Structure 1
């Protein structure tokens, strides 16, 4: 018998997609016949590439293209095969979206009902020498979900499709920020694997710390054709070992101590040290198969022991508590196959710019590609991965149970080697939903997912990734029978603020950890006008409403603005006002929660990114452009933050020091007129310990203005500054902006210098109006009269210096107020 290395041949080219008999297929699509298809891909992007549909993201194309998700589709290609001496031939589908029958030369290989797992089929003896016909016949996910929802029994869910009845990306059926595509396709690679003697089936590798010594734990499962003796050669961090496998063994657990290896640390705590691990499977000295991982050595502890204030939620890495400055992550494209490593890198560059040290991968999306977690590994960005359950009750019966178990085992095995993965979470909002959203009557005694979250999933994590923490849900109270969305216990989602209340009400909360909260705003102007062709473009024009998915979204935007600013009657002013209000709302929430350090140990804002161009809670819009909210995150997430807050009748100044070094100096407080005149001052020495905070109560002389509409309090401390305004924008005496603006060319763009002649609040440059791809490096800057800021702009090389001098490119809150001279 031969000994040959495993060969893996991608089956990416030569595919076609063709509509089935069912559905209202447009005549021009029927007439076209088989459409060239891309793998990985989806039927929507294949139709788009063939010129048969317009971009689904534009105008009202989502509605007019609804026939695509309601139709059946067949993907097909010729697979040419020449016997290569291998003993086994297998087809591996890394991702099939979603309900399909797979045929080889007309014979059924198998069926699939789960987008979130791979499928392997043994085709040994089934391949013809020469041409073979490989077909994947998709059933409409909409129809499949509708049918499964009846067969399993109705269970409550958000939105309009019963996405909880099948294992497909929940937000593919639409969300309150997401487009409804209900697409299908081979969304991850298809590979023909051939091998002899043995091959690696599963590799789990983790870097842990045993009694203070970095140690690699490697679990290898193999598949084999016979009982020959084999060996595993493992190398990591300059150490290596060989482990023998007898003929009746198909699994091995190997530990390698690496005492000289550096530990992996998150951002702001040390180096994110990574080490190459290599596993080779050998027979008689010949390498049959091999796999590699990049691992990091670290420990994770989740502390939820009750204290005098309730139940904390503290994440500790290598014994050090980490104050979380996080954001929620959704699929970065409604068609996730279009997201590659460079795109992940661009988005994570923006996360780093915003001072984010943790990303929570939300449960209504997907398990991202390894490239996402690898980028986080290298940057020291922690990841929290939800299992894929969101805002719904889920049946615990077959066939769903087995699909979910297989999916979860594969996900934990694949992702568990990434040191950035520190938390696996059972679901998004389902524990809360079962308690408080009126599910009980609709369930009528049926299962709703509880055994997944409290039994199946923690068991899988404990078995396959014990080095990763687990929680049953978000929000989460460790006391299982108590209220799950309780600010005093564990994690909380705060959504009455935005849905019902003004953002000032964030200060009604003293939470232990906030894992969701946020405020809506429009995408950048360039993205808005690139995706919507309404004329006139207004907040309620047809395309704008298509790209506003939240229930009563525009009403909430308006109600949330009016306490702070008047409602503009010009569309560009409306866009700026809503963008500013989103940024200030998020900044207000984060700064308040951080001022409660160490009572509150973290926030995870909703959300970093978008999956298409839409009015939403994101800081980066669907075309990857920075919204003003991203600058709010950058400032509010500063490692050394100075913030002023009203608290129990006092005006307080809190300094938060999220660094490993003490922070000391003199706190200076000045109550000033808007013209800059100092009315009264106070100086106080402060010493803030590492990872700590200190609070100072401003004296009544400072906290009590003589003219609330024309005065502010300015705090400075050791390089940090904060402002407190005694009135809302609309009640203040802000004047029309007056500034001297100069723009000097740089090698990649511009350095724009703004000299304020009067008080300017929340200055932003919208350079995308000059160049849609221009990137601005700072924003939301407040300047006192006579103060200067220089803001760097990358891009806009064809602009002129005068283009930055005023509206609509240069904006401030002053623009939105009508004041008397």
Structure 2
């Protein structure tokens, strides 16, 4: 049987400026984490330390350890699951190979060899700049040369990320010893037909003995089958009658089946392969209709409105992201009502732990190929690397039922058409051949059970603008960059794959990241941790459309920018969900952060939930109630994504901001399963001016409509009582209290509240549960409560 020996111990890292200086190295890991552990660089996440460690990415680095020859097997392979990025591998001075792709694994025959194993990393800058010198300039959204090297693009910096260009053995390395033959790869093609789950396992082997007769055995529970290996290939099929289906969360259970494959010579088991699969059918409806060209995911015949978030690498040093950390972050997504996670193209193909967690949590995965915001050369040496990484990762990720869509790139088709690339390129290659040629061919050949789309955004063909909202996927960035969030209501895209609004991280996260700094929106550390072009200016302009800017009051600024982020995203999702099935999904930019930064994330770089995260629970719930202006009046919209129908009586109240109820009415609606219904709001309860607002209550659901911006509303001075309650606090309002927020991390850094923004009418109360609060105190809780206040 194949024997695998992890090579995690005994590594050293040689410092490039001193041939005799060595450091202990952690594998998997990277240069920055080893230097941090040795105390040789400051934490680049704190203050402006990022700039102090920029030199690391410009140097060469060498990892070394002793390698002893294996015995008792015919062949010994040295296997690297990931090398970041351009490296030469030597064993006792003999070159085993040279590599230049972070997104691939590598295997070297070291049979009978032993001695000093050396992995010598070139600077990623040097490699990228050499390729640029050979192939010529290509435009990109950033000045860094990320499009010339197959490396995580955002390690070169992004509008939410630091520039920390590292190197290292970032995924596991091991010795594999085997005889006769080994399993090289298994492609499981999983389908469902008439209630029967079918798995066609295409098995490739590598041989050390050409003449050996080999068979492959497979089983799922009690279902077993056997096939013959013809040369280096074999096929075995399993049928599972009455197979339970795998469903995304909210639609059913996540039934998973263990598949085992064994390579056999005579009676001897040579190698094994084990994965968990799920039986489900996946479709993507891109048919034309009266509204344009659709983009609707279909799972097991069920058409979905996708409730999504964009995922970036959870750490700029991805080797630090453990299985537990993946699980925590993805559980936070599921807790927010998310059912789809898009793995964005400026990052990586994530580890098995990510996709396994998605399988078990019922989170659909939209996987980008790693291309983002740049023109990518299609010549060698990049073209061969792109094909090799695509082939490897398509096969690697195929077993996961959560994976439902392959996407060619992020914003590059759009960039070619709109960002001035076309004239600058003057006919040079820029990636179109990857997105419309190579990648769809690889997916069709290796993984025909899943759909492929050429890019995000993409209208389906060059007959339409790549970011045309009426066709395919759309990225909505005029809002935030140029216009207020009411701009979301101006159109109904078929699928909104990116949109969002910035806010700073939690207060405790800022305090940790900027120790000792007198915090202000434009203090040095805050500016360093704001990477977006004119980010603070956009935050200010967005705030001033709704509130008086709180000059000199950082705490109010911090709270109000959080409120604005949640309201902005709510404006988009409420509008687009209310237009199902024309609009078939929203993917918020973004779920997470890779360091402490002001960004579009719902969860900050320290893992703390912003108010947006809690707001997503309401916005992405199966049932959503919203009010919108149309046809000169107001309409109540009930969005029902549940499996059953929804009939409800709704109490509508026209309320004065001073407190009294000025009018009331009752309406009823019925919304079918996975359907939307609209009810006109009676004229007598439509608010008249900035002093009034509308409240719609349907059971536990509430929708609010304020007809004016906050700076125009004559709010009363908020009055409320705070008392301790078991596990938290209770707040009782005496006046209108709008967007009340307990910033629990101001009580203690580890404290978390179970809810975000809540609006209370006079006499109403809310209990907020708080975990991680060691010394509950009502006065302290009051100091951590914020709400909208009257304009001074």
TM-score, structure 1 normalization: 0.95
Q: How does 1:149-168 map to 2 (within 5 A)?
A: 149-168=132-151
Instruction: Check the 8 A contact 2:15/2:23 in 1, yes or no.
Output: no
Cα shift readout 1:86-141 (whole Å, capped 9, x = no counterpart): 1001111100000111101101111011000001111123x13xxx1000111111
How far apart are the structure 1 equivalents of 2:590 and 2:9?
Answer: 36
Q: Could you say which residue in structure 1 is the equivalent of 2:242?
A: 260
CA distance in 2, matches of 1:712, 1:627: 26
Residue 739 of structure 1: how far off its partner (Å): 1.0
Matched, 1:818 2:788: no
Is the Cα contact below 8 Å between 1:236 and 1:275 reproduced in 2?
yes
2:72 paired with 1:93: no
Do residues 740 (structure 1) and 756 (structure 2) align?
A: no
Preserved contact between residue 278 and residue 290 of structure 1 (Cα < 8 Å): yes
> Which residue number in structure 2 is paired with residue 378 of structure 1?
360
Written as runs of structure 1 = structure 2, the 5 A alignment for 1:578-727 is: 578-705=561-688, 708-727=689-708
206 and 789 in structure 1: CA distance in 2 versus 1, 3 angstrom threshold: farther
Task: Tell me the SS of whatever aligns to 1:813.
Answer: coil
The CA distance in 1 between the partners of 2:322 and 2:289, in whole Å, is 44
CA RMSD for the aligned pairs? 1.3
Matched residue, 1:415: 397
Which position in structure 2 is the counterpart of 1:27? Answer: none
Please say if 1:240 is aligned against 2:227: no
Deviation, structure 1 residue 20: 2.6
| Equivalent pair of 2:658/2:716 in contact (CA under 8 Å) | no
Q: Distance in 1 between matches of 2:237 and 2:438?
A: 27
Q: Which residue of 2 aligns with 1:434?
A: 416
Match among 376, 380, 401 for residue 394 of structure 1: 376
Verify: 1:12 aligned to 2:8, yes or no: yes
Question: Is 1:285 equivalent to 2:267 in the alignment?
Answer: yes
Provide the C-alpha distance between the structure 2 equivalents of 1:237 and 1:330, rounded to a whole number of angstroms: 36
1:785 matched to which residue of 2?
762
CA distance in 2, matches of 1:583, 1:386: 26
Counterpart of 2:496? 514
| Equivalent of residue 66 in structure 1, options 51, 54, 57 | 54
Work out which of the residue numbers 331, 337, 345 in structure 2 matches 1:363.
345
What is the match of residue 108 of structure 1?
A: 95
Report the alpha carbon displacement of residue 650 of structure 1 after superposing the two structures with TM: 2.6
Indicate how the Cα distance of structure 1 residues 31 and 570 shifts in structure 2: closer, same or farther if over 3 A, else same.
Answer: farther
Report the 3-state secondary structure (helix = DSSP H, G, I; strand = E; otherwise coil) of the residue aligned with 1:151: helix
Q: Secondary structure at the match of 1:682?
A: strand
Question: Residues 195 and 242 of structure 2 are in contact (CA less than 8 Å); yes or no, is this contact kept in structure 1?
Answer: no
Q: Could you tell me which residue of structure 2 aligns to residue 25 of structure 1?
A: none
Do the aligned residues in 1 keep the contact of 2:687 with 2:693 (CA within 8 Å)?
Answer: no
Q: Is the CA contact (8 Å cut-off) linking 1:206 and 1:296 kept in structure 2? A: no
For 1:709, what is the secondary structure of its paired residue? coil
- Give the C-alpha shift of residue 676 in structure 1: 3.9
Alpha-carbon distance in 1 for matches of 2:108, 2:707:
68
What is residue 310 of structure 1 aligned with on the other side?
A: 292
CA distance in 2 between partners of 1:324 and 1:237 (Å)? 33
Between the aligned partners of 2:221 and 2:651, the Cα distance in structure 1 is 50
Q: Which moved more, 1:383-392 or 1:719-728?
A: 719-728
Name the counterpart of 1:480.
462
Contact 2:83 2:169 in 1 (8 A): yes
User: Given that residues 624 and 640 in structure 2 are in contact (C-alpha distance below 8 angstroms), is that contact kept between their aligned partners in structure 1?
Assistant: yes
Q: Where does residue 760 of structure 1 map in the other structure?
A: 737
Shift of 1:245: 2.4
Of stretches 538-547 and 489-498 in structure 1, the one that deviates more from structure 2 is: 538-547
Q: Which deviates more, 525-534 or 273-282? A: 525-534
> What residue in structure 1 maps to residue 118 of structure 2?
135
Shift of 1:722: 0.4
SS of corresponding position for 1:614: coil
Superposition misfits of 4+ residues, deviation over 3 angstroms: none
TM superposition shift of 1:32: 8.1
Q: Counterpart in 2 of 1:24?
A: none
Say if 1:737 and 1:760, in contact at 8 Å, map to a contact too: yes
User: In 2, Cα distance between the equivalents of 1:260 and 1:682?
Assistant: 51
Q: Conserved in 2, the CA contact under 8 Å of 1:72 and 1:140?
A: yes
Tell me, in whole angstroms, the C-alpha distance in 1 between the residues paired with 2:578 and 2:193: 36
Once the two structures are TM-superposed, the CA of residue 277 in structure 1 deviates from its matched residue by 0.4
Distance across 2 between alignment mates of 1:44 and 1:138: 13
Residue 590 of structure 1 deviates from its aligned partner by: 1.0
1:744 deviates by 2.6
Residue in 1 that maps onto 2:232: 250
**Secondary structure of the corresponding residue to residue 55 of structure 1:** coil
Moved more, 83-92 or 114-123: 83-92
Say if 2:654 and 2:687, in contact at 8 Å, map to a contact too: no
Distance 1:311 1:353, change over 3 A: same
Cα displacement (A) at 1:210: 2.7
Report if the CA contact (8 A) 1:416-1:468 is conserved. no
SS in 2 for 1:530: helix
Check the 8 A contact 1:533/1:543 in 2, yes or no: no
Residue 576 of structure 1: CA displacement?
Answer: 0.8
User: What is the deviation of 1:529?
Assistant: 1.0
Distance in 2 (CA, whole Å) between partners of 1:210 and 1:133 is: 54
Contact 2:79 2:176 in 1 (8 A): yes
What CA distance in whole angstroms lies between the structure 1 residues aligned with 2:738 and 2:618? 15
Contact 2:643/2:674, CA 8 A, preserved across alignment: yes
SS in 2 for 1:144: helix
1:50 corresponds, among 38, 41, 44, to 38
Between the aligned partners of 1:341 and 1:541, the Cα distance in structure 2 is 36
Secondary structure of 1:672's counterpart equals: strand
Query: How many Å apart are 1:345 and its aligned residue?
Result: 0.9
Q: Which of 310, 317, 339 is 1:328 aligned to? A: 310
Which deviations, in whole Å up to 9, do the C-alpha atoms of 1:183-235 show, x marking residues without a partner? 00000011111100111110122431134421112111111111211111101
CA distance in 2 between partners of 1:203 and 1:510 (Å): 42
**Mind listing any 5+ residue stretches in structure 2 that lack a counterpart?**
none
Q: Contact conserved, 1:323 with 1:601, CA < 8 A, in 2?
A: yes
For 2:428, which of 419, 428, 446 is the aligned residue?
Answer: 446
1:44-98 Cα offsets, whole Å, 9 max, x none, are 00000011111110111111111100111111111123x4221001111100000
- 2:776 counterpart residue number: 799
Match of 1:536 among 492, 495, 518: 518
Question: How high is the TM-score relative to the length of structure 2?
Answer: 0.98
> Counterparts of 2:615 and 2:218 in 1: how far apart (Å)?
47
Cα offsets for 1:380-412 (capped at 9, x unmatched): 110000000000111111111100000000110
Q: Given the superposition, is the C-alpha separation of residues 798 and 145 from structure 1 closer, same or farther in structure 2, using an over 3 Å criterion?
A: same
Deviations, residues 430-483 of structure 1 (Å, cap 9, x unaligned): 111111110012212101111111111111111111111110000011133321
Are 1:101 and 1:112, in contact at CA under 8 Å, matched by a contact in 2? yes
* 1:527-549, Cα deviation, whole Å (9 max, x unpaired): 01100135322111111111000
Distance 1:673 1:757 in 2: 14
Report deviation, 1:31.
9.2
Specify the alignment match of 1:551 in structure 2.
Answer: 533
What does 1:130-209 correspond to in 2, within 5 Å? 132-209=115-192
Contact 2:547/2:791 (<8 A) preserved:
no
Say if 2:19 is the partner of 1:36: no
- Cα contact 1:206–1:295 (8 A) shared by 2: no
Can you list the C-alpha shifts for 1:220-274, whole angstroms capped at 9, x where unaligned?
Answer: 111111121111110114311122225xx21112221101220111111111110
| Structure 1 segments unaligned to the other structure (5+ residues) | 22-29
> After alignment, is 516-525 or 537-546 more displaced?
537-546
User: Is 1:563 the counterpart of 2:545 in the alignment?
Assistant: yes
Q: Which moved more, 1:646-655 or 1:285-294?
A: 646-655
